[in-house]
Every structure is written in C-alpha cells, then in structure tokens.
Amino acid sequence: MSCYKYWEKIKEIASSIKDYDELKLQEMPLDKIVPLLDSVEEIAHDQTIDFHSAKHILDDELMNNALKTIRRFYVDFGVKIETENAQKILESDDPWNTLESFHFYNRYEGLIRNESQLVSFTPGQKFVFIGSGPLPLTLILLNKTFGVHGIGIEMLPEVAELSQKVIDKLGLSSQIDVLVGEETCLNNIDYDIVMVAALAEPKERVFTNIWDTVNTSTPVIYRTYTGMRAILYSPVTERATRGFHKVVMILPTGKVNNTSVLIRKEI
C-alpha cells in the first residue's frame, strides 16, 4: 500500500501539535495528550508500509519540518509520562501496582522478550543502560524477569536522583544503581552487557566512547526506530556505529516501537 496516503495526515498532525512546547505539554493532562500520540502511532504501526516505501516520506525534504515537530513531541511526551509515573510510584502505597499501570508497561515487557533473543540474560549479569531515564523500566524488568544486576547512566542529576528513588521505593536498591554521567562512566565500572537507549544523544559520540572502552566479546545492544516507526525518532545511522559489526536485529511487533540491534566491536 502506498505510503503517500499518510502524506497529508502527517502534516495535519504536525500542525496540530506544533504549538505544544515542552512547558505547555507538561501542563496538559495525559488524557488530552495520549490521543495525539495515538494518531501518530496509527501511522507508525501500519504494517502495510514496507521499509522502502517508508523512506519516501522519511527522507523527503518537504516533510522535514513535520517530522521534526512530531519527533520533538514524542520525546517530550515520553519524558512527561515517565516522570509523572515515577512521582506516582514515590507517593504510592503499592508501588509495584502503580508501576504496572504505566501506559507503556506491556510494551516494555514485549521489548525485553525481543531482546532476550539477542542476548542470553542470566542471574547476576551486570547490565549497563546508557540513558535509562526517569523511570528505569528496562533495568527493573530485566532484574524482575532474569535476575540481572543493573546500572543506569543518566546525564542530568535530577533525572538520576528521581530514578534512584524509584528503585529504592521498589525495594531494588541492592540490585540496581543509577549513576550521574555519560557513557565514559564505563571506564570505571564492571559490566557484562551494554545497552544504548533509543534517545541517548549524541549518537556518534556515545558509540565512539563505547568503542574505546568495550572489548570485542562484549555484547552491545542499541534501540532504534525503523520503517514507519522512524516517524517517532531519527534512526541510528551506520556512520554512528562505525567500528562495530552488526550481529543481529530484532524488529518490533505489535505496539512495540523500538527495533533492537546487537553489535560487537571490530578491530
């Protein structure tokens, strides 16, 4: 099916959300924002649009401004919903139940299942997640499901602090730590597996510093966006991951948005 059926709809969506700057978005209730996200994801999840067809939209210069608007909205929405859920957990008498009510909880479960096909997660493994966010759900689910010990790395002190408080509230402080810093923190910690969040930036610097640190046997997983899901965020480029060999890639299913890729350092 032609991807051009969405040409005008993408521009209409971008026009409807272009005035929602970060401050205005933070003030809006989620029930007003989620329908906007749903309208974007209806396009992103259309399985009738193949990768080649999707590129006609995603690479078109005329769509550049619309894509920038949609992608900014997607990032700001993600920060808002994670931060709000993190704060609800801290205030909750049943923090695990509050966590499981998170809008994207089931999607993260599906994403973790996909990634368990890339790497064999085992109890006691040391897993580092670069860009773990205010609600470190990946680290929490890896520990809950596989017994993996997690370390999150966050650039912003306030985000790392909130994230660590969530970990403590869930009773996981002996299993998961959150550090303030960048990917260069890898030089000072032990790890078995490294993951790069889809929104970790700037990509070229992140992967260059990882390459400088890891050995050739270390599994490195990164999350990205492919096909029409790339309407949500710019994909990781081959230039960014130069010096690494792509081992295998797992495409998303259902409402999962991220493609997960396993790479290893080349010499």
Look over the chain and give the mean of its residue pLDDT values, rounded to a whole number. Answer: 94
What pLDDT does 74 receive? 94
Is the confidence at residue 31, as pLDDT, over 90? no
Q: Look up the CATH number of domain 1-267.
A: 3.40.50.150
Nearest to 72 by CA among 116, 110, 17, 12: 17
What pLDDT does 139 receive? 98
Is the confidence at residue 218, as pLDDT, over 80? yes
d(CA 194, CA 171): 24
Asked if 195 contacts 222 with a C-beta cutoff of 8 angstroms, the reply is yes
Asked if 92 contacts 98 with a C-beta cutoff of 8 angstroms, the reply is yes
Is the confidence at residue 154, as pLDDT, over 90? yes
Of 68 and 24, which is predicted with more confidence?
Answer: 68
Domain ranges in the chain? 1-267
Is the confidence at residue 20, as pLDDT, over 50? yes
* CA contacts within 13 A on the Cβ side of 1: 9
DSSP string, 112-147: HHHHTTTS---TT-EEEEET--SS-HHHHHHHHHH-
Is the confidence at residue 23, as pLDDT, over 70? no
Is the confidence at residue 2, as pLDDT, over 60? no
The 8 Å CB, 24+ separation contacts for 158-162 are 159/133, 159/134, 162/83, 162/86, 162/87, 162/134
Question: Which pair of structure tokens corresponds to residue 92?
Answer: 């909750």
- Identify each DSSP E strand in the chain by its residue range: 126-130, 149-154, 176-180, 193-196, 220-224, 244-250, 259-265
Q: Is 181 left (phi over 0), alpha (psi -120 to 50) or beta?
A: left
Average pLDDT over residues 221-243: 97
Q: How far is residue 188 CA from its own chain's centroid?
A: 24
Asked if 195 contacts 218 with a C-beta cutoff of 8 angstroms, the reply is no
What pLDDT does 252 receive? 95
**How confident is the model over 164-215, as pLDDT tens digits?**
999 999 999 999 999 999 999 999 999 999 999 999 999 999 999 999 999 9
Contacts of 141 (CB under 8 A, 6+ apart): 108, 109, 112
Per DSSP, what are the bridge partners of residue 178? 152
Average pLDDT over residues 218-247: 97
Global pTM value: 0.95
Average pLDDT over residues 149-176: 98
What pLDDT does 1 receive? 47
Is the confidence at residue 266, as pLDDT, over 80? yes
